[in-house]
Amino acid sequence: MPILFIAQRATAFVLAFAVAVHLATILYAVRGGLTAAEILARTHGNVAFALFYGVFVVAVAIHAPIGLRNVLREWTPWRGRSLDVVLLLFSLLLLALGLRAVIAVYS
Amino acid sequence: MSEVLGVDVWRGAEQGAFQAFAIPRRQHQTVLDVVTEIQREHDSTLSYRFACRVGMCGSCAMVVNGRPRWTCRTRVNEVVKGGERLRLEPLRNFTVVKDLAVEMTGFFDKWKQVHGYFEPGAQPAKDFAVVPPQTKERKFADAGIECIGCGVCYSACDVVAWDEDYLGPAALNRAWTLVNDVRDRGQAARRNAVSGSDGCQACHTHMSCTRFCPKGIEPTYAIAGLKRAMFGWGAR
Amino acid sequence: MRASHTQRGFVAAILHRLSGIALAVFLPLHFLALATALKGADALERFLALTRQPVVAVLEWAIVVALATHMVLGLRVLAVEFLDFREKTAAALSACLVAVFAVGLIFILNLG
């Protein structure tokens, strides 16, 4: 079963929606510049926000490393178990840093 | 129209060099005419392939001014403008045997690997299969069965160039026609091959195969069909 | 240049791939930047102050364009793969790029 392919396409659908929302939000929010206070005012204690970005982070942590895996396998001689392990670590890094960032602006 | 055509032809195998020739321009000249004239009148050591010379067999496929095509169906006027030279190379992504002739074995091995052949099953069918031509499956199959295995799509594919294990557009297109053949009894093995890491998931929709196929077959969409079908197989 | 490399499917795939790589490199930095808020709003504000130089504004614009590019060209791939979208003309790719540039332009206009 092509798990990685299926995971990447499934998260692509999730991200299509999430990125559209994120881009629209950014384009709207940066009008006239953006300060930390303005960002945090929107995100502090905002459960909907935290859930949305939490899902976003999980989807990205799955989607990006699988994409990078294709790039590295096709454009460099690196393949096999060591590549998969490194990309898994990258996935965990994105997950950890991402959820930490969500918590940082939520609390 | 200038009277002489400058031609650069690849000589050698993986290592080699281009050899220059000067061939008289003739009206309606095809690239195959040019290669044949070179081999017969100028340098009989040149190796190249052709057979039918009328666009049916695909034997004459090679890279002409950077594009993989059939030399018998390529007029010199189409590819050479003004004083440009004609540049002939063997198909890309194949091992070069000599000059313009390439080793096709690996290409057909991938057809076998993807189970790109009809599997009738252990028992002969009791009666003729009824396959209405307008059914969805038959239309998908019909769109791809005219493939003659010329190798142009395989030569054009960058993913094949980047990943030598990738089964490639021709093999996968053939697999799609058989996935849609309601009489076939070998679907399990074929699905395995198509779903593997060397199968349809490696296609990145560059569409070079569709762009260059001399028969107008669209392997990109056959491979997309396999990807969609693959989700359904995974659900079982 | 190789003939297959000038045709639009390949160009789309390369833009999609390069923008994806840029985003993958950018994301950890983005997460680290946002996490400075763990030390309070002032910490985040100090970081954002660093980013108000023109060079950074250009890079921000580039990342926004990369995100828009990757999404739009990704939608093209999903359309071909799941909706059996048949790309007959260059219109599809051109439409994608127009959408991306629109996003980039709006970003610049809104920043100013």
> What interface predicted TM-score (ipTM) does this complex get?
0.90
Chain C partners within 8 Å of B74 (Cβ): none
Using alpha carbons, list the distances in angstroms from residue B195 to B164, B166, B232: 17, 12, 11
Chain C partners within 8 Å of B157 (Cβ): 4
Dihedral angle sign, alpha carbons of residues B113, B162, B63, B49? negative
For residue B11, what pLDDT band results from cuts at 50, 70 and 90? very high
User: Does the beta carbon of C87 lie under 8 angstroms from any beta carbon of chain B?
Assistant: yes
Same domain flag for B74 and B140 = no
Q: In chain C, pLDDT over 70 holds for what percent of residues?
A: 93
- Across the range C24-43, mean pLDDT stands at 87
- Å between A98 CA and nearest CA of chain B: 28
In b/e form, how buried is each residue of B181-211, taking b as 16+ CB within 10 angstroms?
A: beebeeeeebbebbbbebbbbbbbbbbbbbb
User: Does the beta carbon of A30 lie under 8 angstroms from any beta carbon of chain C?
Assistant: yes
CATH code: domain of residue C25: 1.20.1300.10
For residue B54, what pLDDT band results from cuts at 50, 70 and 90? very high
Mean pLDDT lowest for which of B63-67, B107-111, B189-193, B228-232? B228-232
For residue B59, what pLDDT band results from cuts at 50, 70 and 90? very high
| pLDDT score of B1 more than 60 | no
Cβ contact, residue pair C13, B204, below 8 Å = yes
- Å between B162 CA and nearest CA of chain A: 5
Radius of gyration of chain A (CA): 16
- Å between A30 CA and nearest CA of chain C: 6
Last residue of a domain, one of B102, B130, B162: B102
For residue B25, what pLDDT band results from cuts at 50, 70 and 90? very high
CATH code: domain of residue B14: 3.10.20.30
Same domain flag for B128 and B77 = no
Question: What are the start-end ranges of the E strands in chain B?
Answer: 4-12, 16-24, 61-64, 67-70, 86-89, 96-98, 101-102
Chain B partners within 8 Å of A6 (Cβ): 231, 234
User: Does the beta carbon of C82 lie under 8 angstroms from any beta carbon of chain B?
Assistant: yes
> B179, B110 in Cβ contact below 8 A?
no
For chain B, the domain total comes to 2
Tell me what the pLDDT averaged over chain B comes to: 95
pLDDT for the residue A86 = 97
| pLDDT score of C1 more than 70 | no
> A61, A94 in Cβ contact below 8 A?
yes
In b/e form, how buried is each residue of A76-103, taking b as 16+ CB within 10 angstroms?
A: eeeeeeeeeeebeebbeebbebbbebbe
Put simply, the chain B residues between 123 and 152 with a CB less than 8 A from any chain C CB are: none
For residue C5, what pLDDT band results from cuts at 50, 70 and 90? confident
CATH number assigned to the domain covering A3-106? 1.20.1300
Same domain flag for B221 and B122 = yes
- Across the range B73-93, mean pLDDT stands at 94
Same domain flag for B150 and B48 = no
> A9, C81 in Cβ contact below 8 A?
yes
Last residue of a domain, one of B102, B137, B158: B102
Of B30, B44, B160, which is closest to residue B88 (Cα–Cα)?
B30
pLDDT for the residue B67 = 95
pLDDT for the residue A32 = 74
pLDDT for the residue C112 = 62
**Pair of tokens at residue C80:** 């071909």
Using alpha carbons, list the distances in angstroms from residue C105 to B97, C3, C112: 53, 32, 11
For chain C, the domain total comes to 1
Tell me what the pLDDT averaged over chain C comes to: 85
Put simply, the chain A residues between 74 and 93 with a CB less than 8 A from any chain C CB are: 93
| pLDDT tens profile B133-164 | 999 999 999 999 999 999 999 999 999 999 99
For residue B236, what pLDDT band results from cuts at 50, 70 and 90? low
The letter for the amino acid at A53 is: Y
Chain C partners within 8 Å of A22 (Cβ): 67
Chain B partners within 8 Å of C5 (Cβ): 158
- Å between A82 CA and nearest CA of chain C: 19
pLDDT for the residue C97 = 80
pLDDT for the residue B2 = 64
| pLDDT tens profile C37-84 | 777 778 878 888 887 888 888 888 899 899 999 999 999 999 999 998
User: Does the beta carbon of B112 lie under 8 angstroms from any beta carbon of chain C?
Assistant: no
| pLDDT score of B111 more than 80 | yes
Last residue of a domain, one of B85, B102, B119: B102
User: Does the beta carbon of B224 lie under 8 angstroms from any beta carbon of chain C?
Assistant: yes
CA distance C20 to C18: 5
pLDDT for the residue C52 = 80
CATH code: domain of residue B217: 1.10.1060.10
Residues of chain A scoring pLDDT < 50? none
Of A6, A19, A105, which is closest to residue A56 (Cα–Cα)?
A19
pLDDT for the residue A23 = 87
Cβ contact, residue pair A2, B234, below 8 Å = yes
Q: In chain B, pLDDT over 90 holds for what percent of residues?
A: 92
Nearest CB to A6; choose among B196, B199, B231: B231
Under 8 Å CB pairs connecting chains A and B tally to 22
Print the domain residue range for B22.
4-102
